[in-house]
Amino acid sequence: MRSGTNLPRVGGFNRSVILDTIRRSPEGVSRVEIAGATGLSAQTVSNIVRRLLQEDLVTETGRAASTGGKPRTLLRTNPTAYFSVGIHIDPDTITLVATDLDGSVRGTVHRRTPRTPSANQVVRQVAGAVRGLLERAQIPVDRLLGLGVACPGPLDLSRGLVLSPPNLPGWHEVPLLAYLQEEFGVPVVVDNDATAAAIGERWAGAGGARMGSFAFLYFGTGVGGGLFLGDQVWRGNSGNAGEFGHITVVPNGTPCFCGNKGCLEAYVRPHAIVAETAAALEKRPADPLPLKLEPSREFADYELICQAAGTHPVARQVIQRAAAKVAIAATSLVNVVDVERIVLGGKGVRYVVDAYKAAISEAVNSRSIARGVRTVQVEPSLIGEDAGARGAAALVLDGAYSPQLATLFSRTD
């Protein structure tokens, strides 16, 4: 049954709305402007702001020139009131990022992901990395709002705090989340890395750059996606929505690790790009490329190919074919979810972002069914290559401070 809503829940929601409004006004905003922007009464705004000031989440900073009457006091968020740490567990790399309340990065750590870890080894390594990061960024543990963990899908949310990332069989049943929660005494949240990246993007673009509806296409070791629909994240019924890399682009095509055939990911992930390039190079000995072709150097090979795509004929063809497949999947995606914006992010797009952007934009704006009534914007991510980890940090901030429709309907009993 759909729940009704009531005053205490509305109060919590309005608090988030006001905090969100202040956060989106880096130049400062007055109580009167908040009332105008949110449609809330002056009294409600005043009461909520008083509590936010007491909690040190907001500060009063100077006064704005007034159009008459007394000058209005401006409010800003206090970015150093709290901090968050995001941990992105990718099959290649574990990335940690510490951010302040504004989502600004205060420190970053990269570690190689252990291939066959023991549970003990992993949890101690990660906890040690968090502690080192907090120390170097000079963040006191009691100012840590929480830890966010992001890993590739699929997620089994019903399994709670046991993490078992696919492609990382050794990680199965590593009790990382429960350990971190106990070790640091703060909430630990977990999400799909691409969904986390979308939340991080929304947090970074809260000034308006990422309001509304967008799909975050995440290119890492694999290919994922996160969805914001109507300015709310859509995680899916089982927490596995937005799996952009598993849109079929070739019927009965190349087998994918996921068990299906012809998935986009099977053609455009770094492993596939390197293999396709290596095979093509064998037939063209006159056009060599200095690939290492060792499993541990695969991502470096991939980036070499991406960089060479501008000049090297084989690399160019491979990347063009990949871009064409990405564009086909993006058109299907747009036809299904009808978003106004596509964002490209993750370390995998560093050198192909322009090629992918051009191919996607051309496709969705000349071949999607609603192209006549709207233009879809295609843009690089605001949060860069560490989108997974920055997104994981944003999970904590978002859970604590974004207006969540769900809070209006949560049962208090």
Give the SS3 label for residue 297: helix
Q: Does 17 bind a second copy (CB under 8 A)?
A: yes
The minimum distance between CB 262 and a second copy, in angstroms, equals: 8
- Site residues for a second copy, 104-163, by CB under 8 A, read 153-158
Work out which of 55, 182, 335, 358 binds a second copy, going by CB under 8 A: 335
Cα three-residue angle 199-16-100, rounded to 5 degrees: 55
Q: Write the Ramachandran bin of 85: left for phi over 0, alpha for psi from -120 to 50, otherwise beta.
A: beta
Q: Is 54 in the site for a second copy (CB under 8 A)?
A: no
Binding residue for a second copy, selected from 86, 225, 270, 388, defined by CB under 8 A:
225
Closest among 348, 302, 358, 373 to 327, alpha carbons compared: 358
Residue 411 interacts with a second copy (CB under 8 A)? yes
Separation between Cα atoms, residue 106 and residue 136, nearest integer Å: 9
Q: In angstroms, how far is CA 278 from the centroid of its own chain?
A: 32
- # residues contacting a second copy (CB under 8 A): 83
Minimum CB distance to a second copy, residue 222 (Å): 10
Report which of 280, 287, 292 is spatially closest to residue 312, judged by C-alpha positions: 287
In the complex with a second copy, the residue whose CB is nearer, 125 or 248, is 248
Among 23, 28, 30, 44, binds a second copy (CB under 8 A): 44
Which residue type, as a one-letter code, is found at position 333? Answer: L
User: Could you tell me if 309 and 355 are in contact, meaning their C-beta atoms sit under 8 angstroms apart?
Assistant: yes
Q: Does 212 bind a second copy (CB under 8 A)?
A: yes
Q: Is 91 near a second copy (CB under 8 A)?
A: no
**405 near a second copy, judged by CB under 8 A:** yes
Identity of the residue, 140 or 259, whose beta carbon is nearer to a second copy in the bound complex: 259
User: Taking the complex as a whole, how short is the minimal distance between the CB of residue 108 and a second copy, in angstroms?
Assistant: 29
Q: Which of 78, 77, 67, 7 has its CA nearest to residue 32?
A: 67
Nearest CA to 17 out of 412, 395, 409, 408 is that of 408
User: Does 242 interact with a second copy (rule: CB under 8 A)?
Assistant: yes
| Contacts (CB under 8 A) with a second copy, residues 21-40 | 21, 24, 37-40
Give residues 358-377 in contact with a second copy (rule: CB under 8 A): 366-374
